[in-house]
Structure 1
Amino acid sequence: MIISLIIAIGLSICSLLIIIFDTTCHTLPMMLVANSSLTQILFATVLLMMTIFSLENDIKQRYYYDLFCIIRGYLSYASCTAMNYSFLLQAIYRYIIVFYPINLFWQSKRIQMLLVVVTWMFSYIYPFAFIFTGDITYNSSNQLCQIPLHLSFSLLFVIFNGYLGPVVAIQIIYLKLVRYVKEISKQAITTRNNLPRIRRELKMVRRIVTITAILVILGLPYTSFLFMSFFTEPPTYYYRISSIFTNPSLIFIMIALFQFTDPLKSFVLRKINFRRETVVPTIGQR
């Protein structure tokens, strides 16, 4: 699990560095991709710290927590929320381009940056109160600090704001775009001039849906334990079991991000081709 998180962090850092230093990536859509990469770095780092803490306590057979355990629990909710909303921002941007192509105000970098800041503020503010209300508690069996899995307002609040809200919103945007494409396909030829552009944006949103689907599918064990806790006691080691699936999902998300983001994919292919062109003449000279 530690290795998978380190790989995920490495891939996220690589994508972020590519966007920063490659001038072809200095566009608004890529800025939103960079935001997703940054949120994933933070989320994977928090999970890595939680895993190391759990492993260290297991090895030393310690069953206690410190203030940092509570903070890590808070950061896990905040960083996960920020990551999910980063994908939602990408979908919203595509939605704006399709439905409001003339309205440049909402497509401006200033507004999109403002939305990024707002989502970050919301993600890190709303779970902050849990530190002081005592909702985040220490679970000795799983060696971590989280909101206990049982039916409670705090848990439902986190589920809706950090997970269900952004994921469902992305699905709604995708379905609206699909419906719009079907409607516009039936209209006059003059309207069909915009169809390739709309289909391109639909394709981008479909890719975002695929990325979130990876997280949803590999997060099914934890989700199952979560809903199970509303009616009965979940397994004792629910987090240890679910992390086997959740942690590697971050690797698959980054691989999908590289595959679906054309500028990132083009950069990697250029570097691979450059190395091949460099190696071949060298071998030929020998």
Structure 2
Amino acid sequence: MKVSGFGNSLSLCTLPLLMMLFLLLYKVRSQSGGGDDKACLSGLKTALQDSRGVLVSWNANNLLTPCFNQTLTQLTGINCNENRIVSILLSSRGLGGTVSSALANCSFLNMVDFSDNQMTGVIPTELGGLQLLATLNLSVNGLTGSIPEDLSNCTYLNVLDLHRNSLTGVIPQSLGYLERLKVFDVSDNDLSGPIPVSLANLSSGAPRFNISSFRGNKHLYGFPLPLPKNRNLSVLAIVGIGLGSGLISLFISFTAVCIWLRVSEQRLAADEGKISQLMPE
């Protein structure tokens, strides 16, 4: 009886502990999920300019529950899985405005495509917090500013397409350390500086990404881009100047020697004349 009583007492004591452990695990799981899809889309809608009305379904009621019944949604361009937003596909919708930093709240995003719109502004550094992001396509817009180095934190990034914008600055070296990166295109921007070796070379000697990924940036240089024509001209100009200066120096030296010889001859002739006058006939 004593043993049985002790066991009952133990069970009564462990029950609250088990409940606390369950609540703790639930809290950890909730935090690991992270993000707030409703805040994500609300912030994005505020930042976008929808002149065509393609986001009419993004009303207050639908934004209240972006995803329902695992994969269903009534929002244009949105795809869900397990009641979380996993992709935002709004290519060629005539959208203006900016890329909202609120996108970072959609923590389960693996695909973002805003290509071929009229979006402006900068690429938010907060996108680097999307650790499940595999595709980021912001091409053919009017984006400015630099490429955020924070994007190198998106370790699952497979596609990074930023071509035909007005991006400036250098290409972050850290982007080359993304091992899963298979598509990389920053062509037709206003980028400058050297192409990171980690994006240009492979151990085999072949380029990791070819010329088409980098061309159209007047101040960008390095392999695999060819040597700019103006640099070829500069090299030829330097060689020409060197040869020209050498010939000029040779001409000046030759002229100086000729003058010296002429003066010496005249002095010698004068000395000979003086001597001949002094000698008896």
When normalised by structure 2's length, the TM-score is 0.23
Q: Structure with the greater relative contact order (CA < 8 A, sep ≥ 6): 1 or 2? A: 1
Q: Hey, which of these two has a bigger chunk of strand by percent?
A: 2
When normalised by structure 1's length, the TM-score is 0.23
Q: Hey, which of these two has a bigger chunk of helix by percent?
A: 1
The structure whose Rg is larger is 2
